[in-house]
Amino acid sequence: MMIPIFRSSDTKSVKRILRSGETQLKKAEAAAQRILNDVRRDGDRALQRWTLQLDKMDLAREGFTVKRREIVKAYRQVPEGFVDAVETSARNIRKAAREQLPRAWQISNGAGIEISQILRPLDRVACYVPGGRFPLPSTVLMSVVPAQVAGVEEIFITSPRPAPAVLVTADILGVKKIFRLGGAQAIGAFAYGTESVPRADKIVGPGNRFVAAAKRLVAGDCGIDFVAGPSELLVVASEGHADWIASDLVAQAEHDPDAVAIFLTPSRKLALEVQGAVEKILQEVFAGETDVPAKALSGHGAVVVTKNLDEAIELVNAFAPEHLTLLNGASRMLDRVRSAGSIFLGETSPVAAGDYASGTNHILPTAGAARLRGGLSAADFVKTISVQELTPHGLGRIRKTITTLARTEGLKAHAYSIETRFKVHGSTPKGR
């Protein structure tokens, strides 16, 4: 299987590849809705049925949560140096997360009118960690650390068959409870609550298209970060090392058969070189041991030959990718990028650096959601609350403004609530 090449003038192919993530999500919603309805109605019994059917795991026998002895055993199963790697990555992520927090502030809108903003963390958060073909301790780091920086008291991990690396990472970070739940049923459990699973204020983390669809469907009942489904990468370059570009495309395709990996270039020569390099890397790295990257690249990947870099950036903004790499001359076009989850500038800034340890968060919006917001941050785990305090003099200063606007809107009681404070025994209100 080969990653296809087509020109940007082939609008049908461009549209298909740029919208593949959204199409996959819509197709998954019906199945996710059925599972969510079952969980909402039957609680633990539905979780047991769906987990047995989809994950081949008996929760009645194994339990909903991981036991301490399993975590102790997991420490003996992770590779040498793993704990140090987790601690280094956590340190970098924590440093960035502190900068992401909104700030408390207080200002005066004139004499007697003080307004301010205070911050309060969420009480309970569920962090979804995909199971799939690979353990993802990095997702534990990316979801738990920002929540801790924000001050969230109860942080849970949920993952189908959590791998030893996931258990050890969660333990290093101090997570007290890890659930053996995955898929749309896990999202339903934390969105609605069951006998064994507490309802969360917010569910965060990436997942397959069914997890992403379930998060979208429960958004009215529970907070979510955003839709974080199958991974996406757009690379833009007019020149560069074909092997390096191809390696990033293959790395992206390694995640999932539904992963999207696209290279945009005005250079036909570079397009052909990258196509060839992709084939070489698939053979050298995987040697037939898995066909997942090849399936992703042939089904949801492409090399698109554009008229110029300007057109490539227009396509980037139309797609709003989860990951965007700008190489060489394209790096100078950063100020023209309006929508992307995370941007990587230059040839020695591979996406894998952000996936693990540079400090930025790898939980990012997909399927066009980057048009609306950026990636997960500590700000997602706090509430900003406005506070105001007016003295009698301050209220008097804006009395007419308030009553005029209230009466214009036809809200007489609003106006009365102001005027009555100036009719206390025929005088102005008392106070400081």
DSSP 327-372: -GGGGGGGGG----SEEEESTT--HHHHHHTSSS------TTGGGT
State both tokens at 332.
Answer: 């100078």
Per DSSP, 230 falls in state S
Which structure tokens are listed for 162? 């959590």
127 contacts 156 by C-beta, under 8 angstroms = yes
- Three-class SS of residue 238? coil
Q: What 3-state DSSP class applies to 326?
A: strand
Give the residue among 116, 105, 108, 111 at the shortest CA–CA distance from 387: 116
User: Is 323 designated active site?
Assistant: yes
The answer to whether 114 is a known catalytic residue is no
Which residue reads 């404070």 in tokens?
421
Q: Which of 29, 254, 273, 322 is catalytic?
A: 322
Residue 237, φ and ψ in degrees, nearest 5: -160, 150
115-143: burial string, b at 16+ Cβ within 10 Å, e else: eeeeeebbebbbbbbbbbeebbbbbbbbb
Q: Pick the catalytic residue: 29, 254, 300, 323? A: 323
49: left (phi over 0), alpha (psi -120 to 50) or beta: alpha
Alpha-carbon separation of residue 157 from 186, 349, 371, 411 (angstroms): 11, 30, 28, 47
Q: How far is residue 171's CA from residue 41's CA, in Å, rounded to a whole number? A: 33
- Residues 6 or more apart in contact with residue 379 via CB below 8 angstroms: 100, 101, 102, 150
Catalytic positions are 322-323
